[in-house]
A and B are shown apart, each in its own frame.
Chain A
Amino acid sequence: MRLITHNMLSSNIKGVVNGFPLRIEAEKVMEKTMEMNSEFLEKMFEKVDWKAFVDASRAMGYTELPEEANSSMLDSDEFLNRFHHALLELDLEEGALVCPETGRRFPVSKGIPNMLLHEDEV
């Protein structure tokens, strides 16, 4: 699972009011290489919750993102490269996603989060 997906996910357990962001427990992180597309990154910059993104990147072992970001930084190749790498090239292979309100752990195995809810959570 890449951080582009993590940044879009929230816990949808019944009764949870604010299930975003899910906390990451990383046991195994893989890195992949993808071609960068700056136009896509500009679009994603508008959608990404930046604080959640920085915290998640750190949980994945990547610490090169600035605490805060604004759209003028998209003119910088260095910033684009870091944004691209953190968003699309880091892959959570093993670990868990944890609901911020209930502490419920959703296991991640072979890169696939299992967010199927139990009967009483629906």
Chain B
Amino acid sequence: MGLISKVVVPPENFYDDVEARKYTSFSHIVQIQRALELLALPDDHVPKLLLDISCGSRFSGKTLSENGHHWIEIGISASMLNVAMEREVEVDLLLGDMGLGIRPRVIDGAISISAVQWLCNADNSSHNPRLRLKAFFTSLYKCLSNGARAVFQVYPENIDQCELILNASMHVGFVGSIVRRKEFLVLTCGQHSINVSISKGKNEDGDSYSDKDNEDEENQTFFK
């Protein structure tokens, strides 16, 4: 498992069959587990209906199903058709656009590992990153139940991209924060009074974004 340079290509081009399988890796499983922790689901031992938004390997299914919840996994790479043979019984996979197409208030939580930054790509003149992000976060906000969380692991190219993502999410009503060395973005639905202290997109230490973030980001790769 070598390092892969960060590249900017539409997911359909980058995640071909070879890359989709390579992306099925231990680090991905660790990231999913971290995202699940950050979802902070109630400890009532009742399975939840959760959403996984991905543009990579279908291997998530096994990790997801081991947690006992029921999952709808939306992938935006057609290559998943080839990787998805090993489906788990608690995970339904579909290919979809970031408009999601899910009914209102039915999802108990959502995670996304290394997928959302694809929305920031402008791979041709008809694609507007702001509009795509708005469409995505609007539909995500709509389908989550009140108080539910969405957890994203993102690999933004630069500070502008990070702010673009965060601003788009907060614009539709999410309250957000960055945790764990700025790897994860945690968004909450409909709990403004509780999260007022982080409503301006600060991290756990209260720091706003700074130019220093750029140094860290330059060294990021898809695999660590």
A8-B102, A9-B101 are known contacts. Are A34 and B89 too (CB-CB below 8 A)?
yes
Whether the Cβ atoms of B95 and A9 lie closer than 8 Å is: no
Whether the Cβ atoms of A9 and B49 lie closer than 8 Å is: no
Asked whether A85 is an interface residue with its Cβ less than 8 Å from the other chain, the reply is no
Q: How far is the CA of A109 from the CA of B96 in the complex (A)?
A: 14
Closest to B105 in A: A47
Q: List residues of chain A with CB within 8 A of the CB of B89.
A: 32, 34
Residue among A34, A113, A119 with the highest chain B CB neighbour number at 10 A: A113
CB of B112 to closest CB in A, whole Å: 17
Q: How far is the CA of A44 from the CA of B106 in the complex (A)?
A: 9
Whether the Cβ atoms of B81 and A122 lie closer than 8 Å is: no
Asked whether B1 is an interface residue with its Cβ less than 8 Å from the other chain, the reply is no
Whether the Cβ atoms of B106 and A47 lie closer than 8 Å is: yes
Whether the Cβ atoms of B78 and A116 lie closer than 8 Å is: yes
Whether the Cβ atoms of B101 and A4 lie closer than 8 Å is: no
Asked whether A69 is an interface residue with its Cβ less than 8 Å from the other chain, the reply is no
Whether the Cβ atoms of B84 and A110 lie closer than 8 Å is: yes
Whether the Cβ atoms of A47 and B49 lie closer than 8 Å is: yes
Q: List residues of chain A with CB within 8 A of the CB of B72.
A: 5, 8
Closest to A3 in B: B92
Q: List residues of chain B with CB within 8 A of the CB of A113.
A: 94-95
Whether the Cβ atoms of A8 and B107 lie closer than 8 Å is: yes
Asked whether A10 is an interface residue with its Cβ less than 8 Å from the other chain, the reply is yes
Q: List residues of chain A with CB within 8 A of the CB of B84.
A: 110-112
Whether the Cβ atoms of B95 and A116 lie closer than 8 Å is: yes
Closest to B145 in A: A47
CB of B76 to closest CB in A, whole Å: 8
Q: How far is the CA of A39 from the CA of B96 in the complex (A)?
A: 30
Binary contact track A56-89/B, C-beta < 8 Å → 1, others 0: 0000000000000000000000000000000010
Chain B, range 63-109, C-beta contacts under 8 Å to A: 70, 72, 76, 78, 80-81, 84-85, 87, 89-90, 92-97, 99-103, 106-107
Whether the Cβ atoms of A37 and B49 lie closer than 8 Å is: no
Q: How far is the CA of A121 from the CA of B46 in the complex (A)?
A: 38
Task: Give the number of residues in A that approach B within 8 Å (Cβ atoms).
Answer: 33
Whether the Cβ atoms of A111 and B102 lie closer than 8 Å is: no
Q: List residues of chain B with CB within 8 A of the CB of A117.
A: 97, 99
Q: List residues of chain B with CB within 8 A of the CB of A114.
A: 78, 81, 94-95
Asked whether B47 is an interface residue with its Cβ less than 8 Å from the other chain, the reply is yes
Whether the Cβ atoms of B92 and A115 lie closer than 8 Å is: no
Q: List residues of chain A with CB within 8 A of the CB of B45.
A: 39
Whether the Cβ atoms of B92 and A5 lie closer than 8 Å is: yes
CB of A92 to closest CB in B, whole Å: 10
Asked whether A1 is an interface residue with its Cβ less than 8 Å from the other chain, the reply is yes
Q: List 24 A-B contacts (CB under 8 A).
A: A1-B92, A1-B94, A4-B49, A4-B92, A8-B106, A9-B102, A10-B101, A11-B101, A34-B90, A40-B46, A40-B47, A40-B70, A47-B106, A110-B81, A111-B84, A112-B81, A113-B94, A114-B81, A114-B94, A115-B94, A116-B76, A116-B97, A117-B97, A119-B126
Give the interface of B toward A (CB within 8 A).
45-47, 49, 70, 72, 76, 78, 80-81, 84-85, 87, 89-90, 92-97, 99-103, 106-107, 126, 139, 143
Return the 10 tightest CB-CB contacts between A and B, nearest first. A12-B101, A5-B92, A113-B94, A12-B99, A115-B96, A39-B46, A114-B95, A40-B47, A47-B106, A8-B106
